[in-house]
């Protein structure tokens, strides 16, 4: 889980296949403090969407090195290799590019790192795909056939999102993921936090929504009981989310999504989410200090109101995976214990911690560079698990240890027990999820390598789905809440599946 497969320089390729494109998701080292299971939650939508835009005369294959199936394929030899590049695995992407180029393939590099650092990426590729790859991928393949290939292709984000073809999920290893139904209904976010990749210079991504009917059709077509919405913020447009929920409700399936905590401004919308099958949300709380959120330009309620809003979600049977960023300029050495205690006091089912990381091209990176606080530019360490800047009120070593301590604390058996649901009927499924997800890294190596991920998780998923269908019937029978009062339904214990599982 921490060492990439060896690329044998002596390995010979098979026969070159002219109309064959290989799409690669490179290996990246896993943070031993966090769960290995989250890396096989669902496949990347970027590459499956590119596959969906591939012309029908081309054969396309998807290869994810993180599924631990060994080195990428060479037989037959692909004419074109498309590689997604993120800054944390840029070095691995470059190694893969060199390996395939040396064997005669045309290598196309795309992804956020290509957008933010094109000069760095250019020597490693035959083609750079900058921006929206779905639009430019067919043109790249056409130009390869015509012998008219350009060095750089650029795609924008102004084309209506509904016009994009659906992702190709049929090329995925269905047994390698918790679910292959990764969906995206919206693009963008109403926040532009200074540390977020969405604020990268040159990334002009207006908020767009797909037709609700398209989303429902994709959910049904993949045949899975559980879907993960990979939207940056599914709740940015409450009225759209309400329409989506009403369309999803008859499916009797379950799903999770990332939302901002202000989605709880309207408890009636939370009720709609629960009735539609939402069992878990990933919420970027980021910090419990208002000054940090102001500095980050995050539009959010006051932190003193977070606990009340979490309770609204819990009262509707929706689990919360809270995301926190450590190392903001107003953080001091007490931030670690204070955050962990708040998570336990509010019985959050899961928490994810990140060290503040200035991604290239973001306002935060510009600020850190201007202030001379960047420690280095070793992109592999820009993974939110390493300190790459000089904090204001603690040393890099203190921030490193505090981050590790937060994971040790929240992943401990004692903390898992302290955060158990108040309803005794919810305790067993909660423990099953927590121990499999949080405390089973050694087991995950075996599950991933032998493609047993789906086999291990799907009984829990189906159990959750059936329980949630029963809960929805009880919730629907109740009178809808008036005003801003949330529904409390003791008949539904907590659920198994959470957005961060």
Residue 432 burial (10 A CB sphere; 0-12, 13-18, 19+): middle
Residue pair 244/272 in contact (Cβ under 8 Å)? The answer is no
CATH 3.40.50.2300 range(s) for the chain read 16-160
Residue 56 corresponds to which tokens in the numbers above?
């029908």
Gap between the Cα atoms of 207 and 269, Å rounded: 20
State how far the Cα of 117 lies from the Cα of 91, in Å rounded to an integer: 13
Residue 203 in tokens: 């990334």
- In Å, what is the CA distance from 397 to each residue of 169, 323, 403, 404? 43, 22, 10, 11
What are 462's two structure tokens? Answer: 């189906």
Residues 6+ apart with CB under 8 A from 186: 161, 207, 208, 209, 210, 231, 232, 233, 234, 236, 237, 240
Q: Is 492 exposed, middle or buried (0-12, 13-18, 19+ CB in 10 A)?
A: buried
| Closest listed residue to residue 329, CA positions, set 370, 302, 294 | 294
Q: Domain 173-477 carries which CATH code?
A: 3.80.30.20
Cβ-Cβ contacts under 8 Å for 289 (sequence gap 6 or more): 303, 328, 330, 331, 335
pLDDT in tens, the chain (501 residues): 989 999 999 899 999 999 999 999 999 999 999 999 999 999 989 999 999 999 999 999 999 999 999 999 999 999 999 999 999 999 999 999 999 999 999 999 999 899 999 999 999 999 999 988 999 999 999 999 999 999 999 998 778 888 889 999 999 999 999 999 999 999 877 666 766 766 666 666 678 899 999 999 999 999 999 999 999 899 999 999 999 999 999 999 999 999 999 999 999 999 999 999 999 999 999 999 999 999 988 889 999 999 999 999 999 999 999 999 999 999 999 999 999 999 999 999 999 999 999 999 889 999 999 999 999 999 999 999 999 999 999 999 999 999 999 999 999 999 999 999 887 877 888 898 899 888 899 999 999 999 999 998 888 899 889 989 998 998 898 855 554 443 333 333 344 443 333
* Other residues' Cβ atoms within 10 Å of the Cβ of residue 474: 13
Six-digit token string for 391:
């904090």
In the block, which residue shows the tokens 């419990």?
Answer: 288
What is the CATH superfamily name and number for domain 16-160?
Response regulator (3.40.50.2300)
The boundaries of every CATH 3.80.30.20 domain in the chain are 173-477
Q: Where are the alpha helices (DSSP H) in 228-318?
A: 238-248, 267-276, 290-295, 306-315
């Amino acid at each position: 889980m921490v060492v990439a497969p060896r690329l044998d320089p002596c390995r010979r390729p098979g026969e070159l296949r002219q109309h064959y494109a290989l799409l690669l998701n490179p290996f990246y080292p896993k943070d031993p403090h966090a769960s290995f299971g989250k890396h096989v939650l669902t496949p990347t939508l970027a590459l499956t969407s590119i596959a969906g835009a591939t012309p029908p005369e081309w054969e396309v294959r998807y290869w994810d090195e993180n599924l631990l199936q060994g080195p990428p394929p060479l037989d037959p030899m692909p004419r074109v290799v498309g590689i997604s590049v993120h800054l944390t695995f840029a070095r691995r992407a470059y190694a893969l590019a060199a390996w395939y180029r040396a064997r005669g393939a045309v290598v196309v590099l795309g992804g956020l790192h290509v957008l933010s650092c094109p000069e760095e990426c250019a020597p490693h590729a035959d083609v750079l795909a900058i921006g929206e790859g779905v639009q430019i991928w067919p043109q790249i393949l056409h130009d390869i056939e015509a012998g008219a290939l350009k060095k750089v292709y650029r795609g924008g984000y102004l084309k209506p999102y509904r016009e994009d073809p659906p992702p190709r999920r049929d090329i995925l290893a269905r047994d390698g993921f918790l679910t292959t139904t990764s969906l995206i209904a919206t693009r963008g976010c109403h926040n532009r936090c200074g540390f977020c990749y969405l604020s990268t210079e040159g990334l002009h991504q207006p908020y767009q929504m797909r037709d609700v009917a398209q989303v429902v059709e994709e959910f049904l077509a993949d045949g899975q009981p559980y879907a993960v919405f990979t939207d940056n913020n599914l709740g940015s447009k409450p009225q759209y989310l309400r329409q989506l929920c009403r369309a999803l409700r008859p499916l009797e399936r379950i799903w999770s999504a990332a939302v901002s905590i202000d989605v709880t401004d309207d408890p009636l919308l939370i009720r709609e989410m629960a009735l539609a099958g939402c069992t878990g949300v990933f919420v970027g709380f980021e910090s419990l200090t208002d000054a940090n959120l102001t500095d980050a330009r995050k539009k959010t309620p006051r932190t003193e109101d977070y606990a009340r809003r979490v309770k609204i979600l819990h009262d509707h049977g929706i689990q919360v995976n809270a995301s926190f960023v450590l190392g903001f300029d107003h953080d001091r050495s007490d931030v670690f214990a204070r955050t962990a205690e708040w998570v336990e006091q509010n019985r959050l089912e899961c928490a994810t911690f990140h060290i503040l990381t200035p991604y290239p091209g973001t306002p935060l990176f510009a600020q850190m560079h201007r202030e001379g606080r960047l420690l280095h530019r070793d992109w592999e360490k820009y993974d939110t698990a390493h300190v790459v800047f000089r904090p204001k009120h603690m040393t890099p070593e203190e921030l490193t240890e505090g981050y590790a301590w937060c994971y040790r604390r929240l992943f401990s058996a004692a903390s898992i027990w302290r955060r158990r649901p108040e309803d005794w009927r919810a305790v067993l499924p909660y423990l099953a999820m927590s121990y499999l997800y949080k405390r089973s890294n050694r087991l995950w190596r075996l599950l991933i390598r032998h493609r047993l991920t789906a086999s291990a998780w799907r009984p829990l998923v189906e159990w959750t789905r059936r329980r949630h269908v029963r809960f929805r019937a009880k919730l629907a029978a109740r009178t809808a809440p008036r005003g801003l009062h949330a529904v409390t339904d003791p008949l539904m214990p907590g659920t198994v599946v959470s957005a961060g599982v």
